[in-house]
Amino acid sequence: MSDRLVVIGSQWGDEGKGKITDYFACRADMVVRYQGGNNAGHSVMFNGKKYSLQSIPSGIFNPDTINIMGNGMVVNPESVVLELQKLRDQGITNFQLYISDRAAMVMPWHADLDGAYEAGKGKKLIGTTKKGIGPAYCDKYSRSGLRMGDLLEPDYFAERLKDAMIIKNKELEMLGLQAYDYQKVYKRFMELAELLGPRIVDTSAIINKALREDGKKILFEGAQGMMLCIDHGTYPFVTSSTPSAASVPVGAGIAPHWIDNVLGVAKAYCTRVGEGPFPTELFDNLAHEIRERGHEYGTVTGRPRRIGWFDGVVARYTSQLAGINHWALMLFDVLSGMETVKICTHYELDGKIVDTPPSTISKLSRCKPVYVELPGWTEDISNMKTYEELPENAKNYVKKIEEITGVLVGVISVGPDRSQTILVSDYLKNF
């Protein structure tokens, strides 16, 4: 029987999923992305070099690992080609990558529409990555979108493209945007089909085969984070998919019973890019200090990330929703040198204590965090290799997170490099 591990973001994205996926990918047979698209920016660092991935799974650096972009993703073929070229330019030439023939395709007009919808919202904009992710998922669910497999059948693709463009060009013109020329789009997509064609296959069949094989190790790499979930996040300030482990069966094309081990990636504090409520947000000099120490600027857009204390309410909520059974506690090194550190245990909403996030942003915006304050530590922990070496106060911080969330910390990350990782849980040691 195979070994499976789902890696998901448990806050507002950018928790360090790329680093953790790459770390385990060194021993994995397969890494599967199952939702989102090139709105993701996953960083991986080893041998002194940093790489950034958007749609391509973070197992791409291990030549023996099969990387799969699953059917639940929205795939922009133009961006995949660019990403592959960038990897090759960085010397990554030996890899295995397949793309689901059922994955929804991000078309050029999706980004235009994303920008126009945002502009139309004025001050109430979401702050999307403007990659066209929302409009691409809309077309998927309105059943007018194109899929990656369509590229493999030129006549079928031509017909579907024509149908889609009649409506899309009308919409673009209504919004005062430039319409697209059918012949030009068709020609370019046939070139992309030439470049990506051999990689476009029935990925669900590949994953299902591996699931049934003894000793195969399969990683599922989430994008975004649970608080950006279309159902359970801070709606409408969310993305357009479900980053949860619950998405894996649908987004990879496997049965739900295969999903039993979920590693929730969480920063030792919190960050958020884009708009929307963020109860533990810091606005003072401390936010600036953490941002600079943690290099908290978006991988995709370069935007400065908003900073806040670790939110135990969010962590409890997301661990229950996604079935998280271990935390990967990330960027722990960034907290060294603080006199005290805070963890939010509850919110106060209109004079009452609440222990789960309310559903509306009007209420969530009124939530005031209730904190427990712990003594900090001064030691540089970025070269520590074991849990035992950590300063007592750092260990107490870890224990407090476990106590508040009811979930054990299985991995501690003390720097961006692959080597700066402390494995705590026996299960994860054996993965």
Q: 223: which 2 tokens?
A: 């994008």
Q: Which of these is catalytic: 22, 42, 139, 150?
A: 42
Q: Which of these is catalytic: 14, 22, 139, 417?
A: 14
Alpha-carbon distance values, 96 to 45, 60, 123, 257, 399 (Å): 19, 7, 43, 27, 40
Residues that bind ligand IMO (CB under 6 A): 9, 13-14, 39-42, 126-129, 131, 133-134, 223-225, 228, 239-240, 273-274
Residue in the block written with tokens 């975004």? 224
Kindly state the number of chain residues that form the binding site for ligand GDP, as judged by CB under 6 A: 24
**Any catalytic annotation for residue 14?**
yes
Q: 126: which 2 tokens?
A: 């979401």
User: Out of Mg ion, ligand GDP, ligand IMO, none, which partner does residue 204 contact, by CB within 5 to 8 A per kind?
Assistant: none
Neighbours of 85 (CB within 10 A): 11
- Least spacing, CB of residue 58 vs ligand GDP, in Å: 7
Cα(264)–Cα(220) distance, integer angstroms: 12
In sequence order, what are the residues at sequence separation of 6 or more whose Cβ sits closer than 8 angstroms to the Cβ of residue 174? none
**Any catalytic annotation for residue 232?**
no
**Angle in degrees, 0-180, between the axes of helices 133-141 and 108-120, rounded to the nearest 10:** 110
Stretch 411-430 residues interacting with ligand GDP (CB under 6 A): 413-416
User: Looking at beta carbons, which residue is closest to ligand IMO?
Assistant: 274
Q: Does 77 bind ligand GDP (CB under 6 A)?
A: no
Task: Name which of 45 and 367 has its Cβ closer to ligand GDP.
Answer: 45
Out of 248, 334, 381, 384, the only residue in the binding site for ligand GDP (CB under 6 A) is 334
Cα(351)–Cα(420) distance, integer angstroms: 43
Stretch 277-316 residues interacting with ligand GDP (CB under 6 A): 294-295, 299
- Least spacing, CB of residue 427 vs Mg ion, in Å: 26
Locate all alpha helices (DSSP H) within 199-279, ordered by sequence.
203-211, 248-252
Cα(106)–Cα(128) distance, integer angstroms: 15
Out of 9, 16, 36, 41, the only residue in the binding site for Mg ion (CB under 5 A) is 41
- Residues 127, 133, 138, 141, CA torsion sign: negative
- Least spacing, CB of residue 68 vs ligand GDP, in Å: 17
Task: Name which of 42 and 232 has its Cβ closer to ligand GDP.
Answer: 42
Catalytic residues: 14, 42
Kindly list the residues in this chain that would bind ligand GDP in the complex (CB under 6 A).
9, 13-19, 40-43, 45, 294-295, 299, 330-331, 333-334, 413-416
